[in-house]
């Protein structure tokens, strides 16, 4: 429901006089002008001043907006055009924004770069409001001022943000998102509406470009995807805030079906191959976030209950398939949840049409609107709550995951289970990047031996170098002698990284607790030490 408080009356009343009209139109420009100047002022905060490229990104964005305003002002004076805005507060914007904000607050408490990013997020909001307003006026439309840009900016930043040196791309990404909303439209049920969820459109397009140009390193994408689990019980948290969105906007069928599909196919894969599909969880936390907050835009998803169910099902299958595809291509797998959304948005009309073509009343009434006295959404939510509770009870959400244990993957690789060696290498590379010297030495050894992967001496030397710089003596010896493959069990610091199960590094755990935990993870040396 929209709450509308119109500010435009004062402007409208002056329509009879062209002079007054121009003045009124000029008055409306104060808003984007203040926003643009605020963007410039933001560039003087220490967080931004610390990076020259960042400062120029802000100035460049502000200059673009100011030039655009100048053009519109001149144009509207010449043509006596009127530019107005009215305040329209829509719950789907501000509730979504509040939920997203709570995710930032919780996640950022455990991963500080999120809080450091706050100034940059504010800048994006200023840019988004101004850009959206100018775009509407350029199209000679009245602008609805509300919380619309919030969920778009928050949603984009929950998945991708550019590093400081390339931050100007963040502004371009936002601009593309809004332009996609304005220009890429179709006629749906007799009304012109945008095809793509604006944030998902921008994220999807930029993901494609980043993959094609092999420039993922310019963004924080990988870090974002892997740090959500630093916040304890993140699945439960996302589930709870997701319920708020579900309650207000009837997206339960979409989100829960996506989650159930992923849980299901993941479990099927695990049962048939003996190894988990995803490395660190049944559903990666970032995907779980995405299915609650990225695919649930009501205006770009199907309208019928069965259509929503299909939509969620396709998202789950899409993520599942893309994860494999991206992995096989050697690309970062975190793009899975981003690339699939624009494709789903495109299929919405087809889904709706397919559902309407079903003549089976029984099938169409799978999700009965009459449940709970017509409050079907509550019934859907109840079912989802039961399913999530069951998954949690079975340890499939926030608990330790089998895929977190390196000895498990070593064993699976030795047993030649499906893709286990590749997963083990992937996991070791991740831990090596986290500065676990043992993992660097292990992966270097694999590339030197060439038994479970193709031999690559250059790569092995790079990993040994890293392991050696992390003071792992075996890695240093491997660097010295190219015929040698020296190995050693993980050192204490390695264990503090290897056993974190996707959470915080275990820097405060006592040595005894560390050994016990290592034994729980099936590290044989730890069990022997523990026994001794």
Partner 1 sequence: MSKPQSETEAKRQSKQEDQRKDLDREQVPDRAVGLTIMCLAIVFVAVWMALQSPQQIDSEKTGFSSPAQAAITGFLANAWFLPDEPLLGFVQIPAGPFIMGSNPALDRLAYENERWSSNRRQGTVQIDDFYIGLFEVTAAQFRVFIAEHPDLANEVPAEIQGDMPITNVTWPEALAYARWLQQKLENSSDTPEELRSYLAAGGQVSIPSEAEWEKAARGADGRIFPWGNTPSAASANYGSSAMLPVGSRPCAECAFGLQDMSGNVWEITRSPLQAYPYDPNDDAENLSEDALWVMRGGSFSDGVGNVRAAVRGGVDPSVRNNSIGFRVVISKP
Q: Within 13 Å, how many C-alpha atoms sit on residue 272's CB side? A: 8
Q: Please name which of 284, 529, 287 lies closest in space to residue 430, comparing C-alpha atoms.
A: 284
Judged by CB under 8 A, the stretch of 209-217, 222-230, 266-274, 280-288 that binds partner 1 is: 209-217
**Contact pick of 17, 215, 415, 512 for partner 1 (by CB under 8 A):** 215
Q: Binding residue for partner 1 (CB under 8 A) from 134, 436, 468, 526?
A: 468
Please identify, among the stretches 30-38, 54-62, 173-181, 448-456, the one whose residues bind partner 1 according to the rule CB under 8 A. Answer: 173-181
CA-based nearest residue to 514, from 502, 526, 501: 526
Please report whether residue 479 would count as binding partner 1 according to CB under 8 A. yes
Q: How many CA atoms lie within 13 A of 194 on its CB side?
A: 18
Among 220, 249, 310, 447, binds partner 1 (CB under 8 A): 249
Characterize the bridge pairing of strands 3-5 and 85-89: antiparallel
Site string (382-421) toward partner 1, x via CB under 8 A: ----------------------------------------
The answer to whether 481 contacts partner 1 (rule: CB under 8 A) is yes
Q: Is 497 one of the binding residues for partner 1 (CB under 8 A)?
A: no
Instruction: Give whichever of 95 and 121 is closer to partner 1, judged by the CB atom.
Output: 95
192 binds partner 1 (CB under 8 A): yes
Q: Per CB under 8 A, does 176 bind partner 1? A: yes
What's CA 293's distance to the chain center, in Å? 9
Confirm or reject binding of residue 370 to partner 1 (CB under 8 A): no
Q: What angle do CA 349, 354, 356 make, to 5 degrees?
A: 95
Under the binding rule (CB under 8 A), the answer on residue 272 touching partner 1 is: no
Dihedral over alpha carbons 20, 21, 27, 31 (to 10 degrees): 170
Q: How far is the CB of 237 from partner 1 (least distance, A)?
A: 25
Alpha-carbon distances, residue 30 vs 34, 59, 82, 467 (angstroms): 6, 19, 14, 58
Give Cβ neighbours of residue 262 (< 8 Å, ≥ 6 apart): 282, 283, 287, 291, 316, 319, 320
Q: Is 138 in the site for partner 1 (CB under 8 A)?
A: yes
Opening angle at CA 43, ends 203 and 54, nearest 5: 50
- Whichever of 65 and 231 has its CB closer to partner 1, that residue is 65
Pairwise CA distance, residues 304 & 356, whole Å? 9
Q: Taking CB under 8 A as the rule, does residue 480 contact partner 1?
A: yes
Instruction: Check residue 179 for interaction with partner 1 (CB under 8 A).
Output: yes
Site string for partner 1, 16-35 (x = CB under 8 A): --------------------
Measuring CA to CA, which residue among 339, 125, 338 is closest to residue 225? 338
Candidates 54-62, 101-109, 133-141, 513-521; binding stretch for partner 1 (CB under 8 A): 133-141
Total binding residues toward partner 1, as defined by CB under 8 A: 58
DSSP letter string, 213-232: TT-GGGBSHHHHHHHGGGST
Least distance (Å) between residue 3 CB and partner 1: 9
**Number of neighbours of residue 510 by Cβ within 10 angstroms:** 9
Residue 94 is a binding residue for partner 1 (CB under 8 A): no
Show the tokens assigned to 9.
Answer: 């009356």
Could you say whether residue 284 binds partner 1 (CB under 8 A)? no
| Nearest-angstrom CA–CA distance, 526 and 515 | 5
Binding of partner 1 by 134 (CB under 8 A): no
Of 112-120, 324-332, 394-402, 473-481, the segment contacting partner 1 by CB under 8 A is 473-481
- The token pair at 120 is 């940059």
Choice between 117 and 466, CB closer to partner 1: 466
Spatial contact of 166 and 173, defined as CB atoms under 8 Å apart:
no
Using CB under 8 A, which of 461, 506, 514, 519 touches partner 1? 461
23's CB contacts (< 8 A; 6+ apart) are 14
The correct pick among 19, 189, 191, 361 for binding partner 1 (CB under 8 A) is 191
Q: Note whether 486 binds partner 1 by CB under 8 A.
A: yes
Nearer Cβ to partner 1 (262/437): 437
Per CB under 8 A, 470 contacts partner 1? yes
- Does the footprint of partner 1 cover residue 431 (CB under 8 A)? no
Q: Which two tokens stand for residue 66?
A: 């100011």
**Binding range to partner 1, per CB under 8 A, among 134-142, 145-153, 317-325, 332-340:** 134-142
| Phi and psi at residue 84, to the nearest 5° | -135, 160
Nearer to partner 1, 31 or 166 (CB): 166
Binding flag, residue 244, partner 1 (CB under 8 A):
no
CB-based contacts of 474: which residues, under 8 Å, 6+ apart? 441, 467, 486, 487, 488
Contact positions vs partner 1 (CB under 8 A): 1-2, 4, 88, 92, 138-142, 144, 166, 169, 172-173, 175-176, 179-180, 182-184, 191-192, 205-206, 209-210, 212-215, 217-218, 249-250, 298, 377, 461, 464-465, 468-477, 479-481, 486, 488-489, 491
């Amino acid at each position: 429901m929209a709450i509308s408080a119109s500010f435009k009356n004062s402007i409208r009343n002056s329509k009879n006089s062209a002079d007054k009209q121009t003045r009124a139109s000029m008055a409306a420009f104060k808003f984007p002008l203040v926003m643009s100047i605020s963007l410039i002022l933001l560039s003087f905060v220490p967080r931004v001043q610390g990076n020259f490229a960042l400062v120029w990104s802000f100035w460049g964005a502000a200059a673009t907006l100011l030039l655009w305003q100048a053009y519109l002002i001149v144009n509207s004076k010449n043509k006596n055009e009127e530019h107005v805005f009215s305040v329209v507060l829509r719950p789907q914007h501000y509730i979504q924004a509040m939920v997203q904000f709570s995710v930032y607050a919780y996640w950022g408490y455990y991963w500080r770069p999120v809080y450091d990013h706050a100034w940059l997020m504010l800048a994006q909001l200023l840019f988004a409001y101004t850009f959206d307003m100018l775009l509407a006026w350029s199209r000679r439309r009245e602008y609805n001022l509300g919380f619309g840009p919030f969920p778009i900016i928050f949603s984009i930043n929950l998945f991708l943000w550019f590093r400081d040196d390339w931050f100007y791309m963040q502004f371009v990404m936002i601009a593309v998102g809004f332009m996609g909303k304005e220009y890429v439209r179709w006629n749906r049920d007799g009304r012109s509406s945008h095809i793509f969820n604006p944030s998902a459109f921008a994220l999807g397009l930029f993901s494609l470009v980043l993959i094609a140009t092999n420039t993922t390193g310019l963004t924080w994408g990988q870090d974002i995807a892997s740090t959500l689990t630093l916040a304890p019980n993140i699945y439960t948290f996302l589930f709870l805030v997701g319920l708020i969105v579900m309650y207000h906007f009837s997206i339960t069928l979409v989100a829960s079906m996506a989650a159930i599909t992923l849980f299901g196919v993941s479990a099927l894969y695990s049962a048939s191959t003996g190894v988990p599909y995803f490395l660190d969880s049944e559903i990666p936390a970032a995907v779980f976030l995405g299915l609650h907050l990225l695919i649930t835009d009501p205006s770009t998803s199907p309208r019928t209950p069965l259509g929503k169910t299909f939509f969620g099902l396709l998202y789950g299958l899409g993520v599942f398939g893309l994860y494999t595809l991206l992995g096989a291509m050697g690309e970062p797998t975190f793009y899975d949840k981003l690339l699939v959304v624009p494709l789903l948005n495109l299929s919405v009309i087809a889904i709706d049409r397919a559902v309407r073509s079903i003549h089976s009343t029984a099938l169409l009434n799978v999700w009965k609107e009459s449940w709970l006295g017509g409050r079907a959404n509550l019934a859907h939510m109840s079912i989802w709550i039961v399913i999530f509770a069951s998954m949690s009870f079975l340890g499939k959400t926030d608990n330790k995951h089998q895929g977190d244990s390196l000895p498990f993957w070593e064993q699976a690789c030795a047993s030649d289970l499906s893709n286990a060696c590749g997963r083990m290498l992937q996991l070791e590379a991740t831990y090596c990047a986290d500065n676990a010297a043992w993992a660097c030495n292990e992966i270097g050894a694999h590339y030197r031996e060439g038994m479970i992967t193709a031999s690559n001496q250059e790569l092995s030397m790079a990993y040994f170098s890293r392991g050696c710089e992390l003071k792992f003596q075996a890695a240093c010896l491997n660097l010295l002698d190219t015929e040698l493959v020296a190995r050693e069990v993980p050192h204490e610091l390695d264990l503090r990284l290897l056993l974190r199960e996707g959470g915080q590094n275990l820097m405060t755990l006592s040595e005894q607790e560390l050994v016990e935990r290592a034994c729980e993870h099936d590290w044989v040396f730890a069990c022997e030490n523990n026994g001794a």
